[in-house]
Amino acid sequence: MEEETEEELRTRTERKVKKAAQLLLFRRHRIPGVKGWELKKALGDNYMEVIGVLNSTLDRFGMEVKRISEGGGTGIDKGEGEEKTERDRFMIVLKSHLIEKASGARIDDVAMLSATLAYIISKQGKAPRKAVEDFLSDKFPKRRVYFALDRYLKQGYLGEDDKVLYIGWRTRAEVDRKTLLDLILAS
């Protein structure tokens, strides 16, 4: 059996990094990103190393691979259990904040989402839907509040369980909650 040359190893790693980028950038499911087990199946057992190489490449473009666990954690940690890593979702996000005009969202929709997230965070991460609706309807028309909350649920910014709203997977991936609260408290 021949030893793999350095050139062959580099070529194989490049192929795996390209494959990982394709999996992570192009949406195949309703929810963006890829589960860890899908990456393992496509890239092999050393998929976390491939993600690390991809991360260093994406860094030049102001993006990063973010891991979102079902339990609410984010980031890529080396010491995690393999089984837990396979259940986590990996997605590519921007490192810096998106400018307002590039987001494509209306300012009042962003305000409603920000207020909703701040309210839920202030209630230790969970709040009854009725309480959130009442809170938002003080400033926004009720009709818009109902549509907006349903949209945030579909988009993954919020989750709902037995009429209780909580922070969704997309908020954990895209929103810097500390900065959001700092901006709200500063105003």
pLDDT tens sequence across 115-159? 999 899 889 889 999 999 999 999 999 999 999 999 999 988 899
DSSP state, 90? E
In the chain, CATH 1.10.10.10 covers: 100-186
Pick the CATH number of 9-94 from 3.40.720, 3.90.1150, 1.10.10, 3.30.1490: 3.90.1150
Write the DSSP string, 109-167.
HHHHHHHHHHHHHHTTTEEEHHHHHHHHHTTS-HHHHHHHHHHHHHHTSEEEETTEEEE
Q: What is the pTM of this model?
A: 0.66
For 100-186, the fitting CATH number among 3.40.50.261, 3.40.50.2030, 1.10.10.10, 3.40.50.300 is 1.10.10.10
